[in-house]
Amino acid sequence: MTLERKCCGVGVPVGLFACSLLFCPNCGTLLALPKNDEPTVICEQCSHEEPASSYDNIEIITRSHPDAFPSALRQKRKTQTKVHQGRELPKVTEKCPSCGHMEAYYEEKQMRSADEGSTIMYTCVHCKHGWRVNN
């Protein structure tokens, strides 16, 4: 048997936060959802008692921006994009090993000792995948 409580007019399984949470009006601490048929929610910080009825008829509107949840891949893509902003890199016909597109930006750098060849850094125009070739 699954225990449920009413939240925003919907039965919610106990232990899930599937509804809007309220903040304590005294100290600003996030209040938990009311348990089953308890008439109040007690703030763990200041012991303020909030009526469970405060959770009734709450309209929930959630908005988020992709940057609100950073990921390593998103950071890598931003870094690669910033490298090309503000300057125009030359393009060359070179097949991308990731997507197969036949055009890439390139930049030549001396990454090893002076008596060795340079390194060509490629970035696919289409998918922004980067790779390098030692010259």
* Domains of the chain, start order: 1-62 (no CATH), 66-134 (2.20.25.10)
Q: What angle do CA 87, 92, 97 make, to 5 degrees?
A: 105
Average pLDDT for residues 107-115, to the nearest whole number?
A: 81
Q: How many CB atoms lie within 10 A of CB 19?
A: 17
**CB neighbour class for 12 (10 Å; exposed up to 12, middle 13-18, buried from 19):** middle
E-strand stretches of 17-134: 40-42, 49-51, 91-92, 104-109, 119-124, 130-134
- What are the structure tokens assigned to 99, written together? 């997507």
Gap between the Cα atoms of 20 and 121, Å rounded: 49
Mind listing the pLDDT tens digit for each residue in 58-96? 776 777 776 666 666 666 666 555 555 545 788 999 999
pLDDT band at 35 (very low <50, low <70, confident <90, very high): confident
57 vs 7, which has greater pLDDT? 57
Mind listing the pLDDT tens digit for each residue in 1-11? 444 445 544 45
